[in-house]
Structure 1
Amino acid sequence: MPRTIRITRSHKLATAALLAAGSVTAITATGGQSDAQPAAAKSSVAAEKIATGVPTAKEIAAKKAAADRKAAAEKAVAERKAAAEKSAEKARSEKQAANRSTERKAVAAPKQYKDNLDGWIRESLDIMKKKNIPGSYEGLHRNIMRESSGNPNAVNDWDVNAQNGIPSKGLLQVIQPTFDAYHVKGTPKRLTDPVANITAAANYAADKYGSIDNVDSAY
């Protein structure tokens, strides 16, 4: 015959305790799953944010640092450019000042000529060049030596002009009316002045013969 198992009060209490423990475990397990759901949701939101391109704090800081470096580099380039332009402007100003100084010196110190036949001819040639009067050193010197032998105070007191009261005078033996008519502005208004005499005679010869170079005899 099967053996009859007698359930005592002790057995009932133990069974109840086991059942209670199982319920707690089940509740705990169920509660653990409930707590895990918010954490998973949070991870899903973070992943979604990254996927949608929203920058993180680290990325924002990195971008700001890069922008600051770029701005600093651009500022440095602009400062170097400004310094170079300032230096170039200073150099131009100094050059202009030097040029003005040279020009002032040139005005303050006119060209010097020797007080002799060579100097008189050279000074006359410079004036003739400014006034577009043709003539060469050789042409002037040749005619001077024939007319007066280089004496600025030479006077012809025997030819027809002298007989008419208007003798030829100076290096190129010019009469007063001719000198007055062909006097070149900027030279002394004195017939026997060497430079004035040469320049007026060259002006007259240019009008009558094309150039003093074309004169080979009395004119």
Structure 2
Amino acid sequence: MPGKGKHRRPKSRALSRGLVAAGAGGTALVLPVIGASVASAQTAPQSAPAAKTSVTASVLAKKAGTTTYTVVAGDSLSKIADQLNVSGGWKKLYRDNRKVIGGDPRLIHPGLKLTIGKKAKAAPAADRANRSKRATTLTAGKSAPAVKPKKKAYTNDLDGWIKESLDVMAKHRIPGSYDGIHRNIMRESSGNPLAINNWDSNAMAGTPSKGLLQVIDPTFFAYHVPGTSMDSYDPVANITAACNYAADKYGSIDNVNGAY
């Protein structure tokens, strides 16, 4: 039996152990064995480089000099321009995005995309329609500018003169009808606006009766209706003054059936 001794192989450190190999000349060579922990540290693959997509995109955005801002509730062009330090302020921001915003810089809404630093493309038709509706709502309740009505046209004849006179009389609340005026004109002047009476007592007194309804000058000027000519021969002025006088003396030209 072999002699008693230690049969358990003593532990050796990873770095102190070696492998014995025969060299070419028979000499034993001791090759160091690298420990597992060291090998692991040296052979562990390096972590993959970070993705450069976002960085590249950021650089491109800076090179282009533009960025996009999405409007949120409570925003205004002035507020956005201040937050983003827009050179030229809200006016520049509006000019660059006018095709998107539309004609009113107040009409921005949440979700609207504004381009900072470059003019934006025109907004889709649906978006423009929505802005139009908002503009209508914004202006609702405001009185529309007064539209001056076109001046009514009248024919330059007896029919037109009477109709124009009736419209003037209506504005001044002077009573009278077409038939009443026409009847008295035909009796007094036969429809001649230049008719004049040079033979009666008025003519003898130096104030002859003139025009369609044969009115003397003192009566014409006393009952002249504003807005008509100061010429007593003017057909419309003559009719309205005579009807004004008849309304004062007889209640209406319709009540006149003879010399008045």
TM range (shorter): 0.5 to 0.7
Does residue 219 of structure 2 align to residue 170 of structure 1? no
Larger fraction in strand: 2
Does residue 164 of structure 2 align to residue 123 of structure 1? yes
Does residue 238 of structure 2 align to residue 197 of structure 1? yes
Residue of structure 2 aligned with 1:161, choices 197, 202, 210 = 202
Deviation at 1:164, TM superposition (A): 1.1
Q: Which amino acid aligns with 1:189?
A: M
- CA distance 1:91–1:150, change in 2 (3 Å): farther
Alignment map for 1:46-57 (pairs within 5 Å): none
Deviation at 1:163, TM superposition (A): 1.2
TM-score (norm 1): 0.55
- CA distance 1:85–1:125, change in 2 (3 Å): same
Query: Matched residue pairs, number?
Result: 135
- Percent identity between matched residues is 61
TM-score (norm 2): 0.47
1: distance between equivalents of 2:138 and 2:255? 50
Report the counterpart of residue 208 of structure 1 in structure 2: 249
Unaligned runs of 5+ in 1: 1-78
Report the counterpart of residue 112 of structure 1 in structure 2: 153
Structure showing greater relative contact order (alpha-carbon pairs closer than 8 Å, 6 or more residues apart): 1
Tell me whether 156-165 or 138-147 shows the greater mean CA deviation: 156-165
Deviation at 1:96, TM superposition (A): 7.4
Q: Which amino acid aligns with 2:182?
A: H
Report the counterpart of residue 188 of structure 2 in structure 1: 147
2: distance between equivalents of 1:90 and 1:111? 32
- CA distance 1:132–1:89, change in 2 (3 Å): same
Larger fraction in helix: 1
Q: After TM superposition, where is structure 1 displaced by more than 3 Å over at least 4 residues in a row? A: 83-86, 91-97
Does residue 87 of structure 2 align to residue 87 of structure 1? no
Q: Which amino acid aligns with 1:87?
A: K
Q: Which amino acid aligns with 2:204?
A: Q
Q: Which amino acid aligns with 1:181?
A: A
Larger Rg: 1
When the two chains are superposed, the root-mean-square deviation of aligned CA atoms in Å is: 2.9
- 1:124-181 Cα distance to aligned partner (Å, 9 max, x none): 0000000000000010000000000000000011111111111000000000000010
